Amino acid sequence: MIRLSPLNQRRWRNFKRNRRAVWALIIFGVLFGMSLFAEVIANDKPIMVSYRGELRMPIVSFYSEQDFGGDFPTEAGYKDIEVECLIVTGGLVDCFDEPGALIAAVDAGQTLVGDFYKGWVLWPVIPYSYNTIVDVPGVAPSPPSSDNWLGTDDTKRDVVARVIYGFRLSVIFALIVTVVSSVVGIVAGAVQGYFGGWTDLLFQRFIEIWTGMPSLYVIIIVFAILGRSFWLLVFLTVLFGWPALVGVVRAEFLRARNLEYVRAAKALGVRDRTIMFRHMLPNAMVATVTMLPFLVTGAIATLASLDFLGFGLPSSAPSLGEMTLQAKQNLQAPWLGFTAFFTFAIMLSLLVFIFEGVRDAFDPRKTFIADGKVDKMQTTFDTVEAENR
C-alpha cells in the first residue's frame, strides 16, 4: 500500500465526500475492469475445453481440428456442430455422420460405444467476438434476440460484443491521449508563461497558426499516406489536442512568475526548470485538473466523430463511432442507435463525474473547506471562460 501524504489523504477524503463521483468511479471501475477481460467475456472460441480428459484453452492457444480428431489442419471451428460433437465424445468418427444425435445422447448421460471419452466445452457468456459473423437467418441488422442481446449490426456482428470491445478501445484511447496531451500542453504552457515576453508572443502566434490547421484534412491525408492504425490516430489526436491545456497553464504561470516565492527562488539561484516544475506547477495543477473532464470526453468524442466519418480506426476495429454511422444508415434497426447513444452517454457521464470529483479534490479552495457546499462546476467554467478570453 502506498502511503499518502497528508495533503493527498485530505484530497482522497474530499473525493470520497462527493458521492456522485464515488459511485461513478465504482460503476466505471467495474465496467472498465470487465472490459479489460473482454476476450473472456465475449469470444467466438471457448474459454476451456476438456478433450479426452485434457484441458485446453482455445482463447489463448491454437488448436487445429485434427487435434480434436477431425480432418483439417486449420483452426477448429468450435461453432460447428461436428467439432462440438468431436469434443464431447472424445473424437468419435460417427460425429461426421450424425453429430446432433450423438450430442443429444451425451447430454442425456449415455455412454457411447467405441473410443468414447466424455468431454465438455465452456463458452464465454457471449459466444461472439467483435468480428465474428453471427449465423442467424434474416436480413443483416437482425433484431435483439436471446442469442444476440442487442441484435446484430449490418454485417451480422453481435452488438453486445462490439460494445464491450469498443468501450475498452475508446477508454484506453481517451486515457492515453489525455495523459500525453496534458504533459505536452503543461510543458508548453509552463515554458510560455514562465519566460513571457518574446517567447510568449512567438509561441502564442505559433499556437494560433497550429490551431488554424484543418485537423480533419491532415488526418485524412496522413492516413492516406501511412495507412490507418490505432497508434497513428493517438499521435494525430495528441498533435492537434495539446493546445487545449496551454492557455490555462500559461495564464497561471504568467500570474505566478512575479509572485514573491518565485522571485525568492530566482534570487537563490534555483534553476529555471526546478522553479517551474517543483515550485510553480503544483499551483497551476488546479487549473489543469479543471480541464481534465473535458479533455477525456473530448478525446472520446474525437474518436467517435472520426470513426463516424469513416476516417478513424481501421475498419476492422470494434468502433462505437462506426456503429453510430450504421444506426444512421439502418434506420429500420433502432437498436443500433439506442445502443450507440446509451453506450456513449453512460461512458461519458461516468467519466465526467469521476474527473469532476478529482478536480474538486485537488482544488485548494475546496480542500480546506470542511463541509461547505460549493458548486462543483464553478471552477471548470471559470477556467473555460478564462481560456476563451
Asked if 44 is part of the footprint of other proteins (rule: CB under 8 A), the reply reads no
Residue nearer to other proteins on the CB measure, 52 or 131: 131
Handedness of CA 27, 31, 36, 41 (dihedral sign): positive
Q: Select the span of 34-42, 168-176, 233-241, 291-299 touching other proteins (CB under 8 A).
A: 291-299
d(CA 159, CA 141): 10
Residue nearer to other proteins on the CB measure, 3 or 373: 373
CB of 164: closest distance to other proteins in angstroms?
19
Asked if 198 is part of the footprint of other proteins (rule: CB under 8 A), the reply reads no
What is the crossing angle of helices 159-195 and 197-211, to 10°? 150
Asked if 309 is part of the footprint of other proteins (rule: CB under 8 A), the reply reads yes
Residue nearer to other proteins on the CB measure, 119 or 312: 312
DSSP state of 277: I
User: C-alpha cell of 65?
Assistant: 481440428
Handedness of CA 362, 364, 368, 374 (dihedral sign): negative
Interaction mask 4-23, other proteins, x per CB under 8 A: ----------------x---
Residue nearer to other proteins on the CB measure, 122 or 345: 345
- # binding residues, other proteins (CB under 8 A): 60
d(CA 341, CA 321): 10
Q: Among residues 324, 354, 358, 359, which is the contact residue for other proteins, using CB under 8 A?
A: 324
Q: Of 133, 92, 130, whose CA–CA distance to 111 is shortest?
A: 92
Asked if 225 is part of the footprint of other proteins (rule: CB under 8 A), the reply reads yes
Helix, strand, coil shares of the chain as percentages rounded to 5?
65, 5, 30
d(CA 282, CA 232): 32
SS3 25: helix
Q: Which residue has the cell 459466444?
A: 127
Chain residues that interact with other proteins, rule: CB under 8 A = 20, 196-197, 200-201, 205-206, 208-209, 212-214, 216-218, 220-221, 224-225, 254, 293-294, 297, 301, 304-305, 308-310, 315, 324, 327-328, 331-332, 334, 337-338, 340-341, 344-345, 348-349, 351-353, 356, 373, 375-378, 380-382, 384-385, 388-389
